[in-house]
Amino acid sequence: MRRTLLLAFAFALLVAPAASAAYDVDIRRTEHGIPHILAKDFGSLGYGYGYAFAQDNVCTMADGYVTVRAERSRFFGPEGKYEFRGNGTAPNNLKSDFFFKRIIDEQTVEKLISEPAPRGPKPEIREAVRGYVDGYNRYLAETPVDKIPDPACRGQEWVKPIEEIDAYRRFYQLALLASGGVAIDGIGEAQPPTPDINPAAAKARALEALEATDPKRFDEILGGIGSNAVAFGKDATDNGRGLLLGNPHFPWDGTERFYQSQLTVPGKMDVAGGSLFGVPIVLIGHTQNMAWSHTVSTARRFTPYELKLVPGSPTTYLMDGKLKEMKGTKVTVMAKRADGKLEERSRTLYSAEQGPILTSLLGIPLFPWTENTAYALGDANATNFRYLNHFFDTNMAQSVDELDAIERKYQGIPWVNTIAADSGGKAYYADIGAVPNVDNDKIADCSVALGRATDAALRVQVLDGSRGACGYGSAEDKGAVAPGILPPSRMPSQFRDDYVHNANDSYWLTNPKAPLEGFPRIIGDERTVRAPRTRLGLKIIEDGGRFGPQELQDAIFNNRQYLGELWRDELVGMCRQDPSVPAKACDALAGWDLRDDLDSRGALLFRRFATRAVAAQGGPYRTPFSPSDPVNTPRGLNTENPQVRQALRDAVSDVTGAGIPFDAPLRDFQYEKRGDERIPIHGGPGTLGVWNAINVTWDPKQGYPNVPHGSSYVQVVGFDGSPCPDARTILTYSQSASTESPIFGDQTRLFSRKEWVKSRFCERDIQAAPGLQTTKLTGPAPAGGGTPGGAKPAAPKAKRTPLLRSVRARLGRSVRVSFRLSKRARVTVRMSRRGKRVTSVRRTLKAGKRRIVVRGPRKRGTYRISVSAVAGSERANARRTVRRAAASRRR
């Protein structure tokens, strides 16, 4: 209780505003509604950002805050699901609420905020977040819920003002996106086993689930948000300066969309780029002299641990021969019933020393909780708020040398690689961030049987939780910023004068002239097959000569289809030899231009073929992979593979079944709807080797309607020696998610036409924008000690002595249970073994130190002692474990 009060007091101090922090900010909107926010200080910067962002996307973000408040069951029902599009999962509402309610009840985020920098947020970030919350809330104060322009949330009770802790919990949700966030259901549903669970059968089912999991599909989901990025140095550009392409492949809907802005505090910060919803810091963008982007890293940010449980006590585990009790946290949420009324739903979630207990990952039931074993999730991002400081400092960096120093100072990057270039002509790559301190020796020494199987199939390491030596470590490891993570010296990075490139494969072939090797397997693989998109990117770069901004713009939207280039001619030959395939289908393939442009004919038929062929058993390639020629191998089409032949026949059936002509142009059957308008979308699946990845789902009746995921905030940034970077951008899905907004589809139409937005970074360019709209916002400092929107924080509860404390259980001939009561109470002591009650004693006792003696256990084994105390409406519980090594003899 005392620690809770101290944390609450510390948090109140941390969020309390400075006495003079009045807001003063100008929001200047240029073409396509892009806000250029000019503020006197960081609090005002956040204020302007929060207001502008809420104007454009309040409904989407309000839905996101429902999630991190653990209120989805309350508003949307416990049986429903929502899409966490950032990692491709669809958590159940109730399980998600339990997951986030534990974070709330255990004050996980408050503890992280209370840390001083660099582990906790810097003071400037706290100011910006406070301003962001007040700006968001000001929009809601000026716009009643029933007057919100967006019909998606107009009049909905779940749209309400936010508090600073809501914003920080959203940041924490993003930190966990590629670790704990892929196990929300598995953590929210984990419960001790019932007697009918057979351990051997449960283990067999887990291995069957593993065998049925496609490793490629697993990686696509875990790192599926994808991205391409290439940074050119002085030896590869037409003017001897740096040049960057950033092309993140992110969701087109939901809270993992990008929002484009420029953030300026004169003399301190001037940065432009894109941010994920709810984050008032630029995550991908450029300053005056440096541009950067990110791609999803192959590094695993988590490791499950296998716990050895004590027989008869499924929440007691062994570590180094000692008994340890899992921590149980009972969480309660409100859920909407079918009749619309609310009811409480409760569940006790458990955690071990390594992390929370889980049963599944990405919905795959790999980790059954039985009477013998349970699994806990070790997560390098569970304590990572350093990433906020990383991005804040990056927003002011002017060179890749500065950026490298930031990477090493914070190790805050949660799940991405960094690719950057600067005006001095230097290119930079790094995968330095929060990765578990698990090297190859530890994997070899600590992997359990399931772990050896998951490592081979999915590169997911499952370690022995019964040995302390298999943990991440409790102290900083040889230069690591925080306990339990690899130090920067053991993580890959590279400076180049020609180029660095990444398209979601590992660090190994960042530049084929200088492969990166010798790093722990948990970060990525080496000397293995590179994906078609990686290989196409490297070929475009190597064959392109010196690049300028226009050449790079043309390259990203050339829509070359690399598997088409590798396979088309052999596919046509195979097609013409198959009497079951119509000649018109073969003609369409032969006439295809090997691109996924809007007017490409035959592209749809090839895509349906290639989507199946890549999964052919035995492989679709004629020439196998060679580590000595990784860009050009594997290649050729294995036309002798029966599954490759069948893939063509099935593709023909797909297209004819949808009523699509074999030579139909892509524009007619791949589109994004904006209201009643169908906007044709160029590009194709990244898995088939299209740099401009548009990752769409086949509809047997319509083709590819609506884009769930793909190219998003695309930027090409060059430097010419002037104070104004040469930046061209396109936000493919546009700034606003509101169907009523004029900026709901304007950039989507530009993208369809392969047009770009010329960046207005310098003040003269902003002022010259046609139709410039300026909003001046001022406001007083928030009153009342730090709760956003001027609301006063709740007074801390008076300190109260627990009803039951100092509980001990000692085993002799009998079990002596001692404890202290704060008031007169009815106390019950129960002793059980293997889930069955052995005996119980009930007494009504006065306040003070008390003892109850329970008749001693005779049989060898572990016994659970449960103590409960009831005094009126007040209840308290405690559990202890005793173990008899040998059967006792009664005299």
Residues marked as catalytic: 227
DSSP structure string for 204-218: HHHHHHHHHS-HHHH
User: In a 3-state reduction of DSSP, which class is residue 697?
Assistant: coil
| Radius of gyration in angstroms for the set of CA atoms belonging to the chain, rounded to a whole number | 29
Residues 6+ apart with CB under 8 A from 747: 32, 730, 731, 732, 733, 734, 735, 757
Contact 285, 731 (CB under 8 A): no
Nearest to 346 by CA among 562, 153, 97, 149: 97
User: What is d(CA 606, CA 685) in angstroms, rounded to the nearest whole number?
Assistant: 12
Instruction: Tell me the two tokens of residue 362.
Output: 């990405």
Contact 879, 831 (CB under 8 A): no
User: What is d(CA 65, CA 71) in angstroms, rounded to the nearest whole number?
Assistant: 9
Tell me the C-alpha to C-alpha distance, in Å, between residue 840 and each of 826, 831, 848, 860, 878: 13, 6, 22, 19, 15
Say which amino acid occupies 238.
D
Say which amino acid occupies 135.
G
With residue 58 as reference, give the H or E element that holds it.
helix 42-68
Taking the chain, what is the end-to-end CA distance rounded to the nearest angstrom?
Answer: 45
Say which amino acid occupies 294.
H
User: What is d(CA 263, CA 282) in angstroms, rounded to the nearest whole number?
Assistant: 8
With residue 730 as reference, give the H or E element that holds it.
strand 726-731
Residue with tokens 């894109």: 274
Instruction: Tell me the two tokens of residue 712.
Output: 């998003």
For residue 409, with 0-12 CB atoms within 10 Å meaning exposed, 13-18 middle and 19 or more buried, which class applies?
A: middle
Alpha helices in 242-286 (DSSP H): none
- Residue 880, beta-bridge partner list: 865
Instruction: Tell me the two tokens of residue 715.
Output: 């930027």
User: In a 3-state reduction of DSSP, which class is residue 190?
Assistant: coil
User: What is d(CA 257, CA 712) in angstroms, rounded to the nearest whole number?
Assistant: 8
DSSP structure string for 432-468: -S--BS--HHHHHHHB-HHHHHHHHHHS---EETT-G
Instruction: Tell me the two tokens of residue 315.
Output: 């929440």
Instruction: Tell me the two tokens of residue 56.
Output: 């454009």
User: In a 3-state reduction of DSSP, which class is residue 693?
Assistant: strand
Tell me the C-alpha to C-alpha distance, in Å, between residue 558 and each of 188, 551, 597, 754: 45, 10, 8, 10
Contact 82, 61 (CB under 8 A): no
The count of C-alpha atoms lying within 13 angstroms of the C-alpha of 44, restricted to the half-sphere facing its C-beta, is: 22
Say which amino acid occupies 661.
P
User: What is d(CA 203, CA 333) in angstroms, rounded to the nearest whole number?
Assistant: 32
Q: What are phi and psi of 204, to 5 degrees?
A: -65, -40
Contact 436, 276 (CB under 8 A): no
User: What is d(CA 323, CA 326) in angstroms, rounded to the nearest whole number?
Assistant: 10
- Residue 678 is classified by DSSP as E
User: What is d(CA 495, CA 193) in angstroms, rounded to the nearest whole number?
Assistant: 52
Q: What is the 3-state secondary structure (H, E, C) of 304-357?
A: EEEEEEECCEEEEEEECCEEEECEEEEEEEEEECCCCCEEEEEEEEEECCCCEE
